Amino acid sequence: MKKGMTYKRAGVDIDKANEFVKKITGIAEDTYSKDTLGTIGHFGSFYKGKFRGMKEPVLVSSTDGVGTKLLIAKETGKFDTIGIDLVAMCVNDIISCGARPLFFLDYFATGSIKANMAVNIIKGIAKGCKLAGCSLIGGETAEMPGLYGAGDFDLAGFCVGVVDRSRMLDGSKVKPGDRIIGLASTGVHSNGYSLVRKLFSKSEITKRYKDELLRPTAIYVKPLLGAMAKFDIKAVAHITGGGFYDNIPRVLPKGTAVSIDRGKWKVPAIFGTIREKSKLDNEQLYRTFNMGIGMVIIADKGDVTGVIDFLKGMEVKAWDIGEVIKWARREVII
């Protein structure tokens, strides 16, 4: 204390933070569209509010994180995909409302900025934004020693999209007889990791299952935008926390339910391993995990083949997995 306590000695290095911003500026700018104004470094981020071809544009917003999948990244030292997960969790919610993602901001908090780790995370976020067709226009990097331990970090994402009011997806058009189309997931995505971490040993996580458990969440934006332009898509549900049982009912009108046929798609092997290790019954598995279906579309029976073929052309596997039925309660029957 004779030399005096400085912010840097307290654990916050402003110069290092500024260098980090310089390193990621070009990464973010590579995601910009013609509607992005300015660059990183201002007190706010700018985006044009002129939406061509829309009679009544409605902004749709979403915020999310990656959960304890971050601990898998920390455990393995692999940080290049976790940013894709962050974007996916937000933009997949946006597209479920029928909206096109416009721009994305991230919040990265850590005990001490480790440049290589942080840059790899931002590169993943930028890649996710490119896959979703949106711009990474800003964010916040917070160095908070004491709140976060050595190597600890957290991520949050914020996304804004737009949809013409007449094309908003709220489930109001859904009726008995409509079909459920399931879109393949890329694996566990970003839910259920608090349980996964209890089931797999440290050795299994860092060696045998590292790539599987860190495989990034699929981003469905471009295939779904294409399908929405060609077909009368009535509703879309993102299968995240709560699985089938909690997410699909969110887009069902009163007096309807969904009947799902589990035999219509091949459940990825990782979920078989989770079932074996956890001894969970089907209800718990389908409430915790996506079980191989990352998104569902509800469409008219006559459009099912066309939608599935279109998605196949966009390199997304999809199956007709069930039906909307008349029912007293909004629920999922598997």
pLDDT tens-digit series, residues 86-120: 999 999 999 999 999 999 999 999 999 898 999 99
Q: What confidence category does residue 16 fall into, taking pLDDT thresholds of 50, 70 and 90?
A: confident
* 8 A C-beta contact, residue 56 and residue 164: yes
- Of residues 25 and 322, the one with the higher pLDDT is 322
319 is written with which tokens? 């199956």
- The rounded distance, in Å, linking the Cα atoms of 166 and 330 is 24
What angle separates helix 82-96 from helix 69-76, to the nearest 10 degrees? 160
Element (H, E) at 258: strand 256-260
What's the token pair of residue 61?
Answer: 């917003």
Q: How far is residue 210's CA from residue 290's CA, in Å, rounded to a whole number?
A: 19
pLDDT of residue 3: 66
Structure confidence by residue, pLDDT tens digits, 60-77 = 999 999 999 999 999 999
State the pLDDT at residue 42.
76
Whether the predicted pLDDT of 331 surpasses 90: yes
Residue 50 banded pLDDT, cuts 50, 70, 90 = confident
Which among 269, 186, 293, 207 has a CA at the least distance from the CA of 277? 269
Output the average pLDDT for the chain.
Answer: 94
Give the integer Cα–Cα distance in Å for 226 and 134: 16
In angstroms and rounded to an integer, the radius of gyration of the C-alpha atoms of the chain is 21
* Rounded distance between C-alpha atoms, residue 304 and residue 217, angstroms: 24
Split at pLDDT 50, 70, 90, the class of 24 is confident
In contact, 187 and 196? CB cutoff 8 Å: no
Which range is least confidently modeled, 3-12, 133-142, 202-211, 304-313? 3-12
* DSSP sequence for 57-88: EEEEEEEEE-TTHHHHHHHHT--SSHHHHHHH
- pLDDT value of position 107: 97
Backbone angles phi, psi at 308, to 5 degrees: -65, -45
Answer whether residue 35 shows pLDDT above 90. no
Residue 329 has pLDDT above 80, yes or no: yes
Asked whether residue 15 carries a pLDDT value surpassing 90, the answer given is no
Structure tokens at 35: 């509607």
Residue 5, both tokens:
């306590």
In the chain, the percentage of residues whose pLDDT exceeds 70 is 99
Mean pLDDT of 38-65: 88
40-46 long-range contacts, CB within 8 A, separation 24+: 40/137, 40/138, 40/139, 44/138, 45/103, 45/105, 45/137, 45/138, 46/137
Average pLDDT on 260-271 reads 96
pLDDT value of residue 263: 95
Strand partners, 176: none
Query: Is the pLDDT confidence value at 258 over 80?
Result: yes
Count the residues in the chain.
334
3-state secondary structure 161-212: EEEEHHHCCCCCCCCCCCEEEEEECCCCCCCCHHHHHHHCCHHHHHHHCHHH
* Whether pLDDT at 34 is above 90: no
* pLDDT tops 60 at residue 1: no
**Which contiguous run of DSSP H or E holds residue 23?**
helix 14-29
Complete domains list, the chain, with CATH: 14-167 (3.30.1330.10), 179-333 (3.90.650.10)
Residue 19 scores a pLDDT above 90? no
**Above 70 in pLDDT, residue 2?**
no
